Structure 1
Amino acid sequence: MPLTDWFLTSEERGNPDSSIPTWTAGNTAEPLIHGETYFDRLVAEVETLGEGDTLFFTDWRGDPDQRMRDDGPTIAELLAAAAKRGVVVKGLLWRSHLDKFAYSEEENRSLADDVAAAGGEVLLDQRVRRGGSHHQKLVVIRRKDGDDLAFAGGIDLCHSRRDNADHAGDPQAVVMAKAYGEHPPWHDVQLLLRGPIVGALDLTFRERWTDPAPLDQHGPISTIQDKLRHADLSADHLPEQPPDPPQVGTLAIQVLRTYPAMRPAYSFAKLGEQTVARGYTKAIKRARRLIYLEDQYLWSREVANLFAESLRQHTDLHLIAVVPRHPDVDGRFALPPNQVGREHAISLCRKAAPDRVHVFDVENHQGTPVYVHAKVCVVDDVWASVGSDNFNRRSWTHDSELSCSILDETVDGRSPADPAGLGDGARRFARDLRLRLLREHLDASDDEGLVDPDETVRRVNATADRLRDWHRGGQRGARPPGRLVPHETGKLSWFTKAWATPAYQLIYDPDGRPRRDRRAGNW
């Protein structure tokens, strides 16, 4: 199987300003499902670091008091202790909008201050388009002894993320829509990566860290506030980047990123970078039997049209999507713009293939909806991706994002050995990831009826329908196994659509492409 059938070539990446490799071979990737699992592994790795080792991280939000385990440490204690041991700790946190708009300005600033007091350095980075954010979730660890690794995916170092498979929620919770309760259940995925891919992710951090543009580009008031607070507004020198780690596994991994077109431009992406959009587009166009995805949003006309086109062209292709039951916000004005995008996207897909689009949401065994924050896609059990990016225009063009797409050289011999019939053969990592996620969602102890795409569709639909019917029937008798329920989108009035659609397009799902690409409809 030529990797270029699935991965972007250097020319297709389209960003000559970055020296990031087209892809790397010889890696391993371990999916860490749920924040509790990820946080525990992160603590275990960071606590072994010593003088001269390095820890780099980027994040959308960091809550300094977030406990990584039941008995601690907090994230601030973990990073500060590492810095005090002589570990080179450097971080980039989104500077964030004001807290009065339900964002995380003070939390991110407090974490930066705590780490700086211990000898580390965390910068609040507002080099984004107006209304945009830095959304990458990355930790890179380089050791003097060479045991290097990285964590990348969808899990932030903040409240509400430390949940597990029981989905009782994080004791330290953010305020969300009332339907999710006081401790919103949370589903998410992060990867633990080893091999040459660590070098590519190290470079991704260094490109942002060394970008000469000012950290705050949105007006004098915030800059004056930063100076009055003695905020760190310039990046200190980084240690020289070590050589890439040696090959250790069977995975080829391509780093996909989003950077918007900016003024002043990013030095490493002068016209922006849309490899997330381009990478997903290439993989989805190659889909023939089954696209499995988990996503926080799944909205945007452009993304929906991509799925719809593939569904129309390939009549054996099914789409299974796992999404949140409700947006994360309530409110007369905040809720409708969140609803209108998904309603439109799902209806576009279902119009293209009414019987082959299967959308579900998740609940725990107590019936509380689970907030799906994961960003996972598996195509025909060959290509898989886990990252920070959602299936929307914002993630594909406007905010900074980071995803790892994966092709395993190990062929999975379980039948069907080649679901798509293109000669690629099912691959071990992609198939195992999809099966592991579905086993949890279905309360399944084995993979019976989950390997073949058509059987998968039948089993998932049957399980979800039984749970839905049990709820509708008054919950008589034992609760059926499974946590998936068919997702239902409510109809919005014409008046609500009239005002919510522009708000959704301009505020919630903006377009960060250069003007010529917008006009041409190119990523």
Structure 2
Amino acid sequence: MSESFWGGMLLTVVVVQILVIWSIRRHRDPSLKIDCDAPIDQLMTSLSGLTLGTAVGGNKVEVHENGAFFDLLVARIGAARHSVHFETFLWKEGVLGGRVADALIERARAQVQVRVLLDAQGSKAAGKELVERMRNAGCRVTFFHKRALRNIGVLNDRDHRKLVVIDGKEAFTGGHCIVDEWLGNAEDGQHFADVSLHLRGPIVHSLQGAFSENWAGETGELFLGDDVFPELEPAGDVRIHAVFAKPENSAPTVKILHHTAICLARKRIWIQNPYFIPEPDAIDAFGAAVKRGVDVRVLMPSTSGSDNPMVQHAGHRNFEKLLKCGVRLFEYPHTLLHQKIMTVDSVWSAVGSSNFDDRSFETNDELSLSIADETLALRLDAIFERYVQRAREVDLERWMRRGSWHKLKDNAFYFLNELL
């Protein structure tokens, strides 16, 4: 047979293999529809059921911002008596990495069980010497989805969670990464802004389960007993459910949570997110919310404030449609705002690791907390208001007059938004 025939056959095989690999972890993407008039804070049982979890009361939640968060985190690691479980996407060699590693090493040498789960892509710059130092001290350090043939179908699936569970009794989650730019107080472009939560109460069991999911997937180890799953007494009065499941035959639960919350809003939706690239269904949901009289605002970094300007350009592609829908958009030019927060009607909040884009909603392993608590929502709204004072609101008429080169970059990077 001719060379062109065999060339065509080879090309066909390659294309089929690419499609198979691409589809291994693809999730269905249905057009989600909700018809309900009840207030969101009265629907926690429904929200948790839709997202394959259980809402639990009796929790205490504390908000911690910027570099001060690590003072508490390191102190609580140092107080661990039985176990420390540490999971993160981004860890880079530096002052902060050394500080956190030292705290984990000290506990491991004190015979505390220390398990560290790092994303193989996001934490590739953690430093071989530092990782070996942790391992030599007794820390069990594992990398999520390393580059290997057995992972070829899931290499684009990253562990984007930021989670620490101590003695099975307290937990931290939010947006903070183990990179030196997260130190300081967001005072300039070299010091980022972020928000994480410190949690006590029954919800900690759910977060321990989220850690176990990926730890067991990578190591095969199942951990049990009071050192990791102790009986938990109520610590407060906040009701929470954790959202992290990615069922193979449905939309990922993090996406379901955010879309449902948008559709339930009656007064306002305020979003703080570093990478805001909503899908068409979400844009339509925002537009419908505005028509219901909902005040919809989004605060994000500008290209000058972002650590990844390509993502901001990808988000720009949808600005015109969002603005025409009545959504108010604010760009912060001074530094990276990395907090991932959505509040609805000042009574409900979603806080966690999830960006508002296809990668987080469709591909990454994420963790978001759905929280019904007016005090917390108002605290998070106050953070929005503090940063928005120094942000620039995007004006529709001026935006439509932006240059051709800007528009070209917006459309080009949007085409790659699931890979950014």
Deviation at 1:389, TM superposition (A): 0.3
Q: Which has the higher helix share?
A: 2
Is the contact made by 2:299 and 2:332 (CA closer than 8 Å) also made in structure 1?
Answer: yes
Is the contact made by 2:317 and 2:411 (CA closer than 8 Å) also made in structure 1?
Answer: no
> Taking every aligned residue pair, what percent have the same amino acid on both sides?
24
Is the contact made by 2:341 and 2:349 (CA closer than 8 Å) also made in structure 1?
Answer: yes
Match of 2:95 among 47, 66, 79: 66
**Mapping of residues 99-114 of structure 1, within 5 Å:** 104-107=123-126, 109-114=128-133
Which position in structure 1 is the counterpart of 2:244?
A: 257
Q: Please tell me the root mean square deviation across aligned C-alpha atoms, in Å.
A: 2.7
Cα distance in structure 2, aligned partners of 1:498 and 1:360: 20
Match of 1:56 among 85, 90, 93: 85
Is the contact made by 2:195 and 2:339 (CA closer than 8 Å) also made in structure 1?
Answer: yes
- The answer to whether the aligner puts 1:485 opposite 2:382 as a matched pair is no
- The answer to whether the aligner puts 1:39 opposite 2:70 as a matched pair is yes
CA deviation map 1:5-44 (0-9, x unaligned):
255456522x5xxxxx41211101111111x121000111
Deviation at 1:60, TM superposition (A): 0.4
SS in 1 for 2:255: helix
Cα distance in structure 1, aligned partners of 2:313 and 2:331: 17
Is the contact made by 1:258 and 1:275 (CA closer than 8 Å) also made in structure 2?
Answer: yes
Is the contact made by 2:302 and 2:312 (CA closer than 8 Å) also made in structure 1?
Answer: no
The one-letter code sitting in structure 2 at the alignment partner of 1:152 is T
Give the TM-score normalised by the residue count of structure 1: 0.64
Unaligned runs of 5+ in 2: 1-38, 146-150
- The answer to whether the aligner puts 1:194 opposite 2:196 as a matched pair is no
The one-letter code sitting in structure 2 at the alignment partner of 1:158 is V
CA deviation map 1:471-515 (0-9, x unaligned):
xxxxxxxxxxx42322476454465566444233x523xxxxxxx
- The answer to whether the aligner puts 1:398 opposite 2:363 as a matched pair is yes
- Deviating above 6 A after TM superposition, structure 1's stretches of 4 or more consecutive aligned residues are 327-330
Q: Compared with structure 1, are the counterparts of its residues 499 and 110 closer, same or farther at alpha carbon in structure 2 (3 Å cutoff)?
A: same
Cα distance in structure 1, aligned partners of 2:232 and 2:127: 31
Which position in structure 2 is the counterpart of 1:325?
A: 302
SS in 2 for 1:105: coil
Q: Compared with structure 1, are the counterparts of its residues 249 and 491 closer, same or farther at alpha carbon in structure 2 (3 Å cutoff)?
A: farther
CA deviation map 1:125-174 (0-9, x unaligned):
1168333311000000116xxxx21000111122211121xx235xxxxx
Cα distance in structure 2, aligned partners of 1:59 and 1:238: 19
Which position in structure 2 is the counterpart of 1:133?
A: 158
Greater RCO (Cα-Cα under 8 Å, separation 6 or more) = 2
Deviation at 1:317, TM superposition (A): 1.3
Deviation at 1:290, TM superposition (A): 1.3
- The answer to whether the aligner puts 1:433 opposite 2:380 as a matched pair is yes
The one-letter code sitting in structure 2 at the alignment partner of 1:351 is K
Deviation at 1:3, TM superposition (A): 5.5
Q: Compared with structure 1, are the counterparts of its residues 290 and 141 closer, same or farther at alpha carbon in structure 2 (3 Å cutoff)?
A: same
Is the contact made by 2:241 and 2:371 (CA closer than 8 Å) also made in structure 1?
Answer: yes
CA deviation map 1:266-318 (0-9, x unaligned):
xxx55476111111111111112211110001113333233123223x1x211
Q: Compared with structure 1, are the counterparts of its residues 108 and 150 closer, same or farther at alpha carbon in structure 2 (3 Å cutoff)?
A: farther
Cα distance in structure 2, aligned partners of 1:129 and 1:256: 21
Cα distance in structure 2, aligned partners of 1:285 and 1:198: 28
**Mapping of residues 223-234 of structure 1, within 5 Å:** 234=219
How many residues end up aligned between the 2 structures? 367
Q: Compared with structure 1, are the counterparts of its residues 74 and 255 closer, same or farther at alpha carbon in structure 2 (3 Å cutoff)?
A: same
Q: Compared with structure 1, are the counterparts of its residues 284 and 398 closer, same or farther at alpha carbon in structure 2 (3 Å cutoff)?
A: same
